[in-house]
Structure 1
Amino acid sequence: MDANQPPTDDAQEAELRVLRDQIDAVDRRIHQLLNERARLAQQVADVKERYRRGDEVPAFYRPEREAQVLRAVMARNEGPLADATVARLFREIMSVCLALEEPLKVVFLGPEGTFTQQAAQKHFGQAAECHALAGLEQVFTAVQQGEAHYAVVPIESEDAGLIRHTLDLFRRFDLYICGEVELSPEAAASRLNRCPRYLVIGRDAIGPSGEDKTSLLLICQDEAGALHELLAPFHRRQISLTRLETRSSGEHDWKTLFYVDFEGHFGEARVVELLDELSGLQVEVKHLGSYPKAVL
């Protein structure tokens, strides 16, 4: 064929057929590996069941482990797919594999179709059983009573009243923050100029993932200089605060609540020292949880 002559449709189809055959072969390998991963997940569940003690419920979902896996996926990614795209694919793989071990029951503040539901599905994947509840107190109660494994609640949004309600419930319920979810402004609403933030709550504290945050609720008398006294122990240890929310307790006790996020995990020596020093002050300290920083 003349080199200057444009390729024929037959020539193009022949080249495409070769590429499609290669894609089919790759798809078969991917399929085989997905099933192999799923079988390994089932074996993990079998081992946990075999070594369970009495009525102890095995921890099938490990938030810190999932965060480590997703970070590793992004670190080793060589493209052309974007890091976040690959991580989202792996989150869905982990979600369906986890459902083979034990389907996760997750509740969120309804109604359905809200940003909170988006946050729940983003964090747990499509294989989790997500259910909307009518009120925040119902959401907290469902987790504390074991009707759901986890819940997703708003902590940072346009509705400041909703944030205050969340803080009030953290004070009343004995639950732990297990993770955080951030929605991009584009995913939530174009008028927002910051990422709406949500928290994942569960019944158990979790181990370190290597890149963690800790949240505290500090309650003290409403006195001049109280905030300075509370922040000094953080400053001395060069612990970075990522969030500080202040509000009245809402009761007739003249107390102030400080919601604090900072970098680090409850198991780290400097955090243990920090909590010891805070406890030595005239302040009530409630550890809300140490959890992985949002990966996606």
Structure 2
Amino acid sequence: MSKKNTAAGSSAAAARKELERLDRELLKVISDRARTCQKLAKARQQEGGLLHDMGEDHAAFQKLLEANKGPLSEAGLRSIWRELQGQARSMIQPLRIAYLGPKYSYSHLAGIARFGDSLDLLSMATIKAVFEAVNVGEANYGIVPIENSTDGRVVDTLDMFARVPLQITGEVQLKIHHQLLGKCTRSQITEVYSKPQALSQCRDWLAKNLPNVRTVEMTSTALAAQIAVDKPGAAAVASYEAGLNYGLNVIDANIEDNKSNVTRFAVIGGDAPKRTGHDKTALMFAIPHKPGALADAMAVFKRGRLNMTWIESFPMPNTKNEYLFFVELEGHQGDSKVKSALLALGRKTDKLNVLGSYARGLPAE
């Protein structure tokens, strides 16, 4: 063996030895962290506080991001941290998280992004089923899509907020990248399966690259991937993780028309998180059926110098020509400005529900 090879071998052996030492230290630190999480939960209970404080967790991760000097990326750090938090939560109190769709649907990925993969994640067939699971105590939390940057509001979710009195306790912003998956080549594709929203978000790409191929709507992207496994000529628009899970090839990657495609998910259920200083408040209200009623309601936010981040209207259930308005604004309902605005808004509306205050989420892959 040459001196050069001997030196390289010695260098690799030294690096492996250093990694083994660091792994032992890491194991000790992780174990110490888990024990400290248990102590914190016990202290919180004794003081009458929250067992799991999502707002505090969010603030803690923001501090880690600010302190991170690399080489770990933000996404890498987030992945490690959420698994540590998930393991700690499962040791303190087992949590069940309900989400829409089969495994590796985008709602499932949003649940992992928020809670990690170590908790009990429950697949639900509909958004209504997610709400009901949380409402009756079958699940501690639910993950439901609320808005997409391409397709806008998710009506089924807003409708359920009008029907079931659950609080929003967090949000997940998930960057959506659609993959064309299958076991054939692009030229062999005769049908493309996916849920309507995913097909809509890839409409231009599909029209340009597969103009003569039939698109078939499914209830979820993961179900579409399952079909593409066995059906000749079938392809699916779904997540990369769904392709891995079902053994599908990526025929074309990132085929979404909007490269900044993001879906926001609401976290429902659980205790109201503490104020973080970087919060949003969601509310839903109905106004009198008379001229100028909406303008009067909107003027409340202007006078209070509150920035609205989102506003949607949708038909009120079981009524004719009456609408509910869903608004998100910057600030926490405990802030003096927000408190004053809510009092004023209550005088201008027939019905006002504050759906919750929660930390602003950061887009995650």
TM-score normalized with structure 1 length: 0.88
Correspondence for 2:55: 64
Correspondence for 1:21: 17
Structure 2 unaligned residues grouped into runs of 5+? 179-238, 240-253
Please state how far the C-alpha of 1:168 moved relative to its aligned partner: 1.6
Alignment identity in percent?
29
Which has the higher relative contact order, 1 or 2, with Cα contacts under 8 A spaced 6 or more apart? Answer: 2
Change (3 A) 1:19 1:204: closer
Correspondence for 1:142: 133
Q: Say whether 1:266 aligns with 2:266.
A: no
Change (3 A) 1:134 1:43: same
Match of 1:239 among 294, 306, 309: 306
Matches for 1:182-193 after TM superposition, within 5 Å: 182-186=173-177, 190-191=255-256, 193=258
Correspondence for 1:3: none
CA contact under 8 A between 1:60 and 1:98: conserved in structure 2? Answer: no
In structure 2, what is the Cα distance between the partners aligned to 1:122 and 1:218?
Answer: 30
Change (3 A) 1:192 1:234: farther
CA contact under 8 A between 1:221 and 1:256: conserved in structure 2? Answer: no
Q: Say whether 1:290 aligns with 2:357.
A: yes
Change (3 A) 1:190 1:198: farther
Q: Which amino acid aligns with 1:23?
A: L
Change (3 A) 1:46 1:237: closer
CA contact under 8 A between 1:156 and 1:196: conserved in structure 2? Answer: yes
Q: Say whether 1:155 aligns with 2:146.
A: yes
Match of 1:198 among 265, 278, 282: 265
Q: Which amino acid aligns with 1:25?
A: R
Match of 1:176 among 164, 167, 173: 167
In structure 1, what is the Cα distance between the partners aligned to 2:126 and 2:176?
Answer: 24
1:43-95 CA distances to partner (integer Å, 9 max, x unpaired)?
Answer: 3344456x388xxxx74221101101110110111112123321321111111
Q: Which amino acid aligns with 1:275?
A: L
CA contact under 8 A between 2:293 and 2:348: conserved in structure 1? Answer: no
In structure 1, what is the Cα distance between the partners aligned to 2:135 and 2:34?
Answer: 30
Correspondence for 2:184: none
Correspondence for 1:225: 292
Give the length in aligned residue pairs: 285
1:191-244 CA distances to partner (integer Å, 9 max, x unpaired)?
Answer: 152201110000532221221111010111344433322211111222111111
TM-score normalized with structure 2 length: 0.72
1:81-137 CA distances to partner (integer Å, 9 max, x unpaired)?
Answer: 123321321111111111110121010122333111111111100111100112222
